[in-house]
Amino acid sequence: MTVRRALALVIGAVVCAGALGTGCAQQPSGTTSRDSQPPGTSASPPASAQAGPRHSFPRPLPGVGPAVRARLPDASRQALVVTGATESSNRAEAVVWERHPAQGWRAVAGPWPAHNGLRGWTDDHEAGDLRTPIGVFRLSDAGGRLPDPGTRLPYDQDPEFAVSGTGHLGEPLEGSFDYVIAIDYNRVPGTTPLDKTRPLGEDRGGGVWIHVDHQGPTNACVSLSEEHMRALLNVLDPDKEPVIVMGPASVLAR
């Protein structure tokens, strides 16, 4: 081998080694670098970055915040939520909800229009204040002038549920107590809604019912149309320990 040929071989080896060291080597056949992927594609993220399994949680009672939810009896699986727009409003909306172990609370009836006390709502109800008590109360007893429409609640049909006269807007009150459900505010549960016993005293009011709407605000009760009263009586189940959750939206959301 001549000196000139040996020198050429040495120079060629040095140039090839330099090219490999600067990343210019050709990609192996059938592979593509991250930078050379076609537009609009991306490499799969590492396993640690991929989304894990989704978890679902039981739905809380809609429109009802944690402070009010804490007042729900643990065993209650039915709730009639009656929501007013403001503390002074005497019109409201009513929805019946049921609690299921996996899904949480689901609507089963409503929404229905409702009336409440002429002067709105209060968390310190007194007799004659024309306001509906705010809070969570059990629904345990029903009755009315008309026969039992098929409710599972204890039902007292009695002619004493008759009412006459006019309401706050001059509307007739006749038929308002054809169907009633006692709200367990200042009363003895397990008795007819006609029972006038007031455990908290007469000054705290009483006789707060859900009854048939007379197209006007009430003294303190909640009223629904006759059709919706029958539907409510038929859906309430004492085994589910039903309650009413009622008040203005801003208070219920607390």
pLDDT tens, 93-143? 999 999 999 899 999 999 999 999 999 999 999 999 999 999 999 999 999
Pairing of strands 180-183, 209-212: antiparallel
* pLDDT of 1 above 60: no
Element (H, E) at 212: strand 209-212
Q: Which residue type sits at 189?
A: P
d(C-alpha 49, C-alpha 38), whole Å: 22
CA angle centred on 96, ends 91 and 100, rounded to 5°: 150
Per-residue confidence at 86, pLDDT binned at 50, 70, 90? very high
pLDDT of residue 56: 58
Domains of the chain: 66-252 (2.40.440.10)
CA angle centred on 203, ends 201 and 207, rounded to 5°: 80
Mean pLDDT of 80-97: 98
Strand partners, 218: 117
d(C-alpha 13, C-alpha 115), whole Å: 96
Q: Reply yes or no on whether 55 is catalytic.
A: no
pLDDT of residue 186: 98
Q: What is the mean pLDDT of the chain?
A: 85
Task: Report how far apart, in Å, the C-alpha atoms of 34 and of each of 29, 44, 86, 153, 235 are.
Answer: 15, 11, 60, 70, 62
The values of phi and psi at residue 82, to 5°, are -115, 115
pLDDT of residue 19: 38
The tens digit of pLDDT for each residue in 8-64 reads 443 343 333 343 343 333 343 443 444 444 444 444 444 444 554 555 578 999 999
Mean pLDDT of 75-104: 97
Residue tagged active-site, from 115, 125, 214, 221: 221
- pLDDT over 70, % of the chain: 78
pLDDT of residue 58: 87
Residues in the chain: 254
pLDDT of residue 225: 98
d(C-alpha 137, C-alpha 135), whole Å: 6
d(C-alpha 246, C-alpha 157), whole Å: 26
pLDDT of residue 27: 40
Q: Reply yes or no on whether 168 is catalytic.
A: no
Mean pLDDT of 209-225: 98
User: For residue 61, what are its two tokens?
Assistant: 């009672």
Give the closest residue to 215 by CA, choosing from 172, 153, 182: 172
SS3 content of the chain, % helix, strand, coil (to 5): 20, 25, 55
User: For residue 139, what are its two tokens?
Assistant: 């629904």
3-state SS string for 94-137: EEEEEEECCCEEEEEEEEEEEECECCCEECCCCCCCCCEECEEE
pTM of the shown model:
0.78
